[in-house]
Amino acid sequence: MNPLQKLNQLGQSVWYDNIERSMLNVDGELAKLIKEDDLRGVTSNPAIYDKAIRSSSAYDADIKELQKSFNSPSDIFFELAVKDIQMACDLFMPVYQATNSLDGYVSLEVSPDLAHDVVGTIQEAKLLWNKINRKNAMIKVPATIEGIEAMSHLISEGININVTLIFSIKRYLRVIEGYISGLEKRVSAGKPINHIASVASFFISRIDAAIDPMLAENGKALQGKVAIANAQKAYQHFLEHYGEKRFKDLQAKGAKPQRLLWASTGTKNPEYSDVLYMDSLIGTETVNTVPPATYDAFRDHGTAKLTIMDNMADVDGILEQLDSLGVSLEDVTKKLEREGIAQFETAFNAMMDTINEKLLTL
């Protein structure tokens, strides 16, 4: 049994932060990862799709055919992506069934230009959900203030949601409230909640990448520790809020906790272990969505043991020390959210250019 397989036994589900058409054959790479590593899900985003469509000819035939029916490169992209998500969902359906709908999910993100548009996000999320037409799909919605409002409404309509780009504890608490409120609204309407699944994608390595340079002179002892402490603090809130009576009442009606999903777990600093953010955040009722290089590294030399509660008593001290050095984690996380949305917009626009180029040459 390799370390990836062991994580699932410890209560942490491993998802793959990558998708590309050539992976999705019934005997292709994704099927192999499911069989050999007990892979439990897949996430995608505009940056992943920009790379996939730009570097692969696997989409060319569909692009050529789709231009007969669609004029917009955005419409063509979502047709391509929906087909991918459907294929991946079908490969994961046995996982979905074997885990009693805990895992086996595949995520597709709404357009990044909708990050501050409640109505637009709801409309596009519902459109994509209906197009994919798979009960083990998830629609990704950014955790902006507007995105959380949209997420809560979509949960109330019975749609599986991956709420993403969470960097701060303050924002995560709003996500928890939005999720639980959405479930309560659905219960009040007399509708079932036992089939709804959701994850809260909490970003890790980008925080250290942003903060470590600020600590170069006076705070070297904190370098490489803030992102993990921030995630541990989020996990404390997860345990607290999903252990309270308010959620337990929903759980009695079939509700599932909105699990924390660790995102951005590839190590950006070459001086750190290439599996630092996997080794350090292994906990029950969590998910880790892993980019390919980190996935391979953890399979090779990761350590599968419960670690998320390690040094938990030091978490508040680390965050207080950071504040005493004049570094505002809240300001950093706000900036990271803005940058994250901008990066996805840039990737999405680059992908539109790629599709336009292919439309001219195919």
Tell me the HSE value of 168 on the side-chain side, using a 13 A CA sphere: 17
User: Torsions phi, psi of 161, nearest 5?
Assistant: -130, 135
Q: Residue 239 class from Cβ within 10 Å (0-12 exposed, 13-18 middle, 19+ buried)?
A: middle
Strands 137-142 and 161-166: parallel
Pairing of strands 198-203, 161-166: parallel
Widest CA span of the chain, in angstroms? 61
- For residue 201, give the DSSP letter: E
Which pair of tokens denotes residue 26? 């019934």
- Residue 149, H or E segment: helix 145-156
Q: Where are the alpha helices (DSSP H) in 190-288?
A: 205-211, 226-241, 245-251, 276-279
The span from the CA of 139 to the CA of 123, in Å, is: 12
Which one from 140, 225, 233, 358 is the annotated catalytic residue? Answer: 140
3-state class of 263 per DSSP?
strand
Could you tell me the two tokens for 296? 């391979």
R_g (Cα) of the chain, nearest Å: 20
Whether 32 is a known active-site residue: answer: no
DSSP 266: S
Half-sphere exposure of 43 (CA within 13 A, CB side): 28
Please give the distance of CA 18 from its chain centroid, rounded to a whole number.
Answer: 11
Helix (H, G, I), strand (E, B) or coil at 187: helix
Is residue 203 within 8 A of residue 167, CB to CB? The reply is yes
Point out the residues that are catalytic: 140
